[in-house]
Amino acid sequence: MKPKIYYSRDEMKELNIKKLNERGVKIEDIAKIAFDQEYKYNKDVKMEQVIESIEKILSLRDVFHLLQLGAEIDRLAEEGQFRGPIQDIIQNDLGVFGIDEIFGLDIARLYGAIGQTNFGDIDVNKPGIVKKLNDDGKPGKPSCHTFLDDIVGAIAAAATTRVSQIYSEETAKNTLHLEEEKSL
């Protein structure tokens, strides 16, 4: 049988949600971070908009590859499956390792400079599920979330950015509409 390597956007979204759930992350956990981040600048933000953005982001091919690979690296490290120094480096979440942040930045980069600064904010302040993943993956704990905390933070940052881009577009259209009305 031919191996399956091509997935539709719906399949990628579903597989990403399944993988996140397997690793202890719910869509609502990510949505809470994005909602709070956007709410600081936009009091009109709605939770449904945030969820819709997260689902859209989870259907992107780059995000699919990064999330699936990152979550598997964490699982393999958890099970002690790597050989050589990389096993302890990943399992103990070495601060200067940085490849996990590259995964996060690569996701956030899909939403430009604002996506990346939003990711930086989440990476430093570790709200909600990002802190839980980080704490649960600390040395001495059985779990490893070295990659997943960055991936989850970046998906939240991307969702914040997508929601604010949609809001900007709607504001622009409404302004245009008002100006048109004025000229009538």
Nearest 5°: the CA angle 106, 129, 12 is 50
C-beta of 60 vs 105, nearer to Mg ion: 105
Q: Does 100 bind Mg ion (CB under 5 A)?
A: yes
Residue 118 identity (one-letter amino acid): N
Please state, as a whole number, how many other Cβ atoms lie within 10 Å of the Cβ of residue 97: 15
Cβ atoms of 114 and 161 within 8 Å: the answer is yes
In this chain, which stretch among 1-9, 36-44, 99-107, 174-182 interacts with Mg ion, using CB under 5 A?
99-107
Minimum distance, C-beta of residue 45 to Mg ion, in the bound complex (Å): 27
- With respect to Mg ion, which residue has the nearer C-beta, 38 or 100? 100
Residue 149 binds to Mg ion (criterion: CB under 5 A): yes
- Give residues with Cβ within 8 angstroms of 178, minimum separation 6: none
The CB-nearest residue to Mg ion is 100
**Are the C-beta atoms of 81 and 74 separated by less than 8 Å?**
no
Over the window 150 to 179, marking each residue x when it contacts Mg ion by CB under 5 A and - when it does not, the resulting string is x-----------------------------
Tell the smallest beta-carbon distance from residue 66 to Mg ion (Å): 13
Nearer to Mg ion, 89 or 110 (CB): 89
CA 91 to CA 76: how far, in whole Å?
9
The type of residue at 90 is I
Q: Which stretch binds Mg ion (CB under 5 A): 64-72, 100-108, 115-123, 168-176?
A: 100-108
CB of 143 to Mg ion, least distance (A): 12
CA 106 – CA 87 distance, rounded (Å): 23
Helix (H, G, I), strand (E, B) or coil at 60: coil
- Which of 96/184 has CB closer to Mg ion? 96
In the complex, which residues of this chain contact Mg ion (CB under 5 A)? 100, 146, 149-150
